């Protein structure tokens, strides 16, 4: 019966283990079957040939929600994380199949019961061993016990243990598949002999150059008037940066935070002052007992246990019955009232011997008094001990009988105390090792008051934004009138994969409305479920081609294209101004009005002489130039340059494949697990476009 007793005593933790293992089992079945667990369902997202079906998605989302329950994760963020994870899992399965990667039963058995247990299984195997009474370092015995459980183990527990092990097998199988895939991919994404030789050639020689560089800033932006043709040419140079993985929409919007007005704040401050007068004039918390906006939390503790410096400073000089305002942060007031001061023992060191079944400890008490150590009387199961524990007798968590006994008995004395918790009797043997002198204990009420928007304020905010939207029903009118109406016009972009709108919490319904709207439409006012903001939005443009166009209305893109077009125009003007005006670098320097300079160039160095960083085009020209031949004027990132290569020196370093393969990999961050983890999703998706349909399964703004 010992095994059964352990299981009963640890039933809550056992339940957690079994649930986790069952989920792993379900996920493993889903991953290895190549079909949905609950049937065909409806597609939530797809990339190429793989799909995420609704029923699988909903199950995974519910599980993720349970795990994130205490972390206040936004629902939209969580949904997108789940979709990305499920797409990754499906794409991984396809890769395993396409590459012929498999894991054999023998490999799984070895990973679970061999000499080197797989890290992903260690904790679960150890915990299963605990419940079955088998050391965690004997996985074969644990597996045997799971398959042939003790006779006294109830049938339902035996079945759950088997399911837990099946889930563990599925989990380890996926881990082993990924490890094989990882080794294969990292072996592919590494330098070959040609890469290593090329890198050596790039850095083995140092080219000494003489040059003159005329800054593009020589010409003002006003002089460099660019045309749409110039912008299209600049876009063509930068085109790769504007590739779209999914359609993008641009939006103008306004946000109204639901917060107190000046009048609300003045009224709140007055309410706090009135409460303080009442608290100082009456006993206890009677002055605020009928006002639910004042929330109090009563604490009895010595000064050392208070973490808030404002309250500690108050207690240093406070008298009983005094109430003060401790701090104000934003619209939140914190008050404190000292209800009383007493003396109590804050630090006592004790040893304890107890039993979980409520049985008598008389025989053990006698042995303990005879000098037998507590640890020698404990059996680690029914009878357990703790030695030399510091605790406090302050506060409501110490049972009255225990507190009285620990206060009255002498240091060094051994005695037993009988008490009960929730109707269950228990007995504990104590030895007092050390007891510090009593300290002051403060009975303090910490009171919080939050200034909320009044009904009048909320009504005004609501009326104003609804009126604005109803009076400006086109995107252009919406944008033109926002400032005059007192609103700040903001802009952003959304896609079907946007987990939220403009980083606002609880805003996925806004994304859905915008993805279904037509350009020029204005969205009805949306208020989040926590009543913290209103948002109104107008859809401007839709971009669903392979690339963002050169004339799109996304500010960052337009600014980048404009800057490149202006730089190109300035460079063309300077090249036309200087071309053919001199025969050598010194002559060009004079024409340009700059100093002739010298410097060194290595093909892959980030800095080219003192011309600038990341001058890849110029570096290529320097590497290809004949010694002594004048090159230029040519365009750099920030200047127009003429140069000659005066000579080439070797670094004298010998070539070895191993050294330059390692350097190449380091330079390009290849061949390591972190690189693979950071790039796995984009590698798996490849040229496929992601089609995210998750918005079809939520309610948008204005939908019932």
> Does 466 share its domain with 378?
no
8 Å CB contact between 285 and 445: yes
pLDDT of residue 3: 41
> Does 281 share its domain with 427?
no
Rounded Cα gap, residues 278 and 287, in angstroms: 5
Determine the distance from the C-alpha atom of residue 315 to the mean position of all C-alpha atoms in its chain, rounded to a whole number.
40
pLDDT of residue 420: 66
Residue 503 in domain? yes
Span 328-338, mean pLDDT? 95
Query: Which of these ranges, 14-18, 261-265, 546-550, 632-636, has the smallest mean pLDDT?
Result: 14-18
pLDDT of residue 422: 58
> Does 419 share its domain with 306?
no
For residue 101, the tally of other CB atoms under 10 A from its CB is 17
Residue 639 in domain? no
Residue 601 in domain? no
The C-alpha angle 308, 312, 313, rounded to 5 degrees, equals: 115
367-391, pLDDT tens digit by residue?
A: 989 999 988 888 766 788 888 888 8
Determine the distance from the C-alpha atom of residue 441 to the mean position of all C-alpha atoms in its chain, rounded to a whole number.
41
The dihedral of CA 383, 387, 393, 395: what is its sign? negative
Pairing assessment for the beta strands 348-355 and 533-543 based on DSSP bridges = unpaired
pLDDT of residue 164: 84
> Does 427 share its domain with 337?
no
> Does 381 share its domain with 340?
no
420 lies in which domain range?
Answer: 348-435
- pTM, full prediction: 0.66
Where is the domain boundary, 406, 435, 464? Answer: 435
**Short-list 681, 694, 680, CA closest to 185:** 680
Angstrom CA distances, 114 to 138, 257, 544, 591, stand at 9, 60, 54, 79
pLDDT of residue 189: 65
> Does 95 share its domain with 165?
yes
Alpha helix stretches (DSSP H) within 431-554: 455-471, 475-481, 508-516
Letter string b/e over residues 499-512, b meaning 16 or more CB atoms within 10 A of that residue's CB: bbbbebbbbbbbbb
Q: Give the dihedral of Cα atoms 467, 471, 472, 473; nearest 10 deg.
A: 100
Instruction: For residue 49, name the pLDDT band (cuts at 50, 70, 90).
Output: confident
Residue 352 in domain? yes
- Does residue 651 surpass a pLDDT of 70? no
Query: Which of these ranges, 194-208, 254-268, 390-404, has the smallest mean pLDDT?
Result: 194-208
Residue 484: give its domain's CATH number. 3.10.50
Residue 560 in domain? no
Residue 294 in domain? yes
Rounded Cα gap, residues 291 and 274, in angstroms: 12
Rounded Cα gap, residues 292 and 230, in angstroms: 66
pLDDT of residue 144: 85
Q: What is the DSSP letter of 695?
A: G
> Does 393 share its domain with 460?
no
Residue 684 in domain? no
478-521, pLDDT tens digit by residue?
A: 999 999 999 999 999 999 888 899 999 989 999 999 999 999 99
> Does 401 share its domain with 420?
yes
> Does 299 share its domain with 394?
no
pLDDT of residue 357: 64
Rounded Cα gap, residues 657 and 655, in angstroms: 7
Q: What is the DSSP letter of 287?
A: G
8 Å CB contact between 111 and 174: no
217-258, pLDDT tens digit by residue?
A: 999 999 999 999 999 999 999 999 998 888 899 999 999 999
Type and span of the H or E element at 690 = strand 690-692
Number of domains observed in the structure of the chain: 4
8 Å CB contact between 80 and 501: no
280-326, pLDDT tens digit by residue?
A: 999 999 999 999 999 999 998 898 888 888 999 999 889 999 999 99
Where is the domain boundary, 487, 508, 543? Answer: 543
> Does 69 share its domain with 152?
yes
Give burial (CB, 10 Å; 0-12/13-18/19+) of 63.
middle
Where is the domain boundary, 187, 208, 238? Answer: 187
Instruction: For residue 201, name the pLDDT band (cuts at 50, 70, 90).
Output: low
8 Å CB contact between 79 and 62: no
> Does 33 share its domain with 50?
yes
Residue 660 in domain? no
> Does 117 share its domain with 175?
yes
Instruction: For residue 188, name the pLDDT band (cuts at 50, 70, 90).
Output: low
């Amino acid at each position: 019966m010992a095994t059964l007793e352990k299981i009963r005593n640890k039933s809550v933790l056992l339940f957690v283990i079994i649930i986790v293992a069952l989920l792993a089992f379900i996920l493993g079945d889903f991953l290895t079957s190549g079909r949905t667990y609950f049937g065909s369902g409806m597609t939530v997202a797809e990339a190429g040939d793989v799909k995420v079906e609704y029923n699988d998605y909903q199950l995974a989302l519910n599980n993720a929600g349970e795990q994130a329950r205490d972390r206040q994760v936004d629902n939209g963020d969580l949904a997108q994380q789940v979709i990305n994870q499920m797409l990754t899992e499906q794409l991984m399965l396809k890769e395993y199949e396409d590459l012929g990667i498999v894991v054999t039963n023998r490999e799984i058995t070895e990973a679970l019961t061999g000499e080197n247990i797989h890290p992903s299984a260690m904790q679960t195997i150890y915990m299963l061993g605990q419940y079955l009474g088998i050391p965690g370092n004997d996985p074969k015995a644990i597996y045997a016990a799971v398959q042939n459980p003790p006779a006294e183990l109830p049938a339902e527990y035996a079945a759950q243990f088997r399911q837990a092990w099946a889930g563990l097998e599925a989990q380890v199988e996926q881990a082993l598949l990924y490890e094989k895939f990882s080794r294969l991919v990292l072996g592919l994404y590494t330098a070959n002999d040609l890469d290593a030789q090329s890198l050596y050639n790039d850095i083995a020689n140092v080219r000494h150059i003489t040059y003159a560089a005329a800054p593009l800033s020589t010409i003002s932006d006003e002089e460099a008037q660019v045309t749409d043709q110039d912008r299209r040419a600049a876009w063509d140079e930068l085109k790769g940066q504007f590739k779209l993985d999914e359609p993008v929409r641009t939006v103008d919007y306004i946000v109204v935070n639901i917060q107190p007005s000046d009048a609300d704040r003045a009224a709140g401050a007055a309410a706090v002052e009135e409460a303080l007068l009442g608290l100082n004039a009456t006993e206890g918390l009677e002055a605020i007992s009928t006002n639910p906006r004042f929330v109090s939390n009563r604490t009895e503790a010595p000064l050392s246990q208070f973490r808030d410096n404002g309250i500690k400073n108050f207690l240093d000089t406070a008298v009983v019955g005094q109430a003060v305002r401790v701090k104000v942060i934003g619209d939140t007031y914190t008050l404190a009232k000292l209800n009383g001061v007493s003396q109590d023992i804050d630090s006592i060191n004790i040893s304890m011997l107890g039993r979980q079944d409520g049985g008598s400890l008389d025989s053990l008490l006698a042995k303990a008094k005879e000098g037998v150590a507590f640890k020698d009387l404990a059996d680690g199961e029914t009878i357990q001990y703790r030695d030399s524990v510091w605790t406090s007798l302050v506060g409501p968590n110490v049972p009255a009988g225990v507190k009285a006994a620990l206060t009255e008995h002498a240091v060094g004395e051994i005695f037993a105390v009988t008490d009960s918790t929730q109707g269950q009797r228990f007995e504990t043997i104590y030895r007092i090792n050390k007891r510090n002198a009593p300290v002051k204990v403060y009975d303090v009420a910490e009171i919080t008051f939050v200034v909320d928007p009044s009904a009048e304020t909320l009504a005004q905010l609501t009326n104003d934004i609804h009126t604005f939207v109803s009076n400006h029903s086109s995107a252009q009118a919406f944008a033109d009138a926002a400032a005059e109406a007192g609103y700040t016009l903001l802009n952003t972009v959304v896609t079907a994969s946007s987990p939220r709108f403009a980083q606002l919490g609880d805003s996925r319904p806004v994304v859905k409305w915008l993805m279904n709207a037509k350009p020029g439409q204005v969205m009805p006012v949306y208020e989040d479920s926590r009543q913290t903001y209103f948002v109104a939005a107008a859809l401007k443009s839709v971009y669903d081609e392979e690339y963002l166009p050169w004339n799109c209305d996304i500010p960052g893109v337009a600014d980048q294209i404009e800057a490149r077009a202006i730089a190109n125009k300035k460079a063309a003007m300077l090249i036309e101004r200087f071309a053919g005006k001199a025969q050598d670098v010194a002559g060009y320097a004079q024409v340009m009005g700059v100093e002739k300079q010298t410097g060194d160039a290595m093909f892959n160095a980030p800095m080219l002489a003192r011309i600038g960083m990341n001058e890849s085009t110029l570096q290529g020209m320097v590497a290809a130039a004949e010694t002594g031949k004048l090159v230029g004027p040519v365009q750099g990132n920030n200047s127009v340059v003429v140069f000659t290569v005066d000579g080439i020196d070797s670094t004298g370093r010998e070539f070895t494949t191993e050294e330059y393969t390692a350097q190449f990999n380091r330079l390009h961050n290849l061949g390591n697990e972190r690189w693979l983890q950071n790039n796995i999703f984009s590698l798996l998706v490849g040229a496929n476009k992601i089609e995210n349909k998750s918005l079809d399964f939520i309610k948008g703004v204005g939908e019932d």
